[in-house]
Amino acid sequence: MVENGQAHHPGTKVPQSGIYACDSGCGHSTDVKGHVFPPLPQGCDGTGWVLRTATPTDGG
């Protein structure tokens, strides 16, 4: 599991399914483990995505 507060850069693999927020607060993204993080919103001055709410990945 990923610790809250760790920023992940766009284009890297998602380590934990969940809701991520831009580290500068300019957007949110729901991402699935193993997929690739999307680009940050246009005009955003952030550097990466930070896990806000983890979701289960075992289907249960």
pLDDT of residue 18: 95
Query: Quick one: which H or E segment has residue 8?
Result: strand 7-8
Establish if 1 belongs to a structural domain.
no
pLDDT of residue 4: 57
Amino acid making up residue 25 = G
- Domain hosting 20: range is 7-54
3-state secondary structure of 57: coil
Establish if 2 belongs to a structural domain.
no
Establish if 60 belongs to a structural domain.
no
* Length of the chain in terms of residues written: 60
Tens digit of each residue's pLDDT, the chain (60 residues): 455 578 999 999 999 999 999 999 888 999 999 999 999 999 989 999 999 999 886 554
Instruction: Identify the bridge partners of residue 53 per DSSP, sorted by sequence position.
Output: 19
Establish if 26 belongs to a structural domain.
yes
Establish if 44 belongs to a structural domain.
yes
Establish if 42 belongs to a structural domain.
yes
For the chain, first and last CA: distance in Å? Answer: 16
Q: Total domain count for the chain?
A: 1
Residues with Cβ within 8 Å of residue 3, at least 6 apart in sequence: 51
pLDDT of residue 1: 46
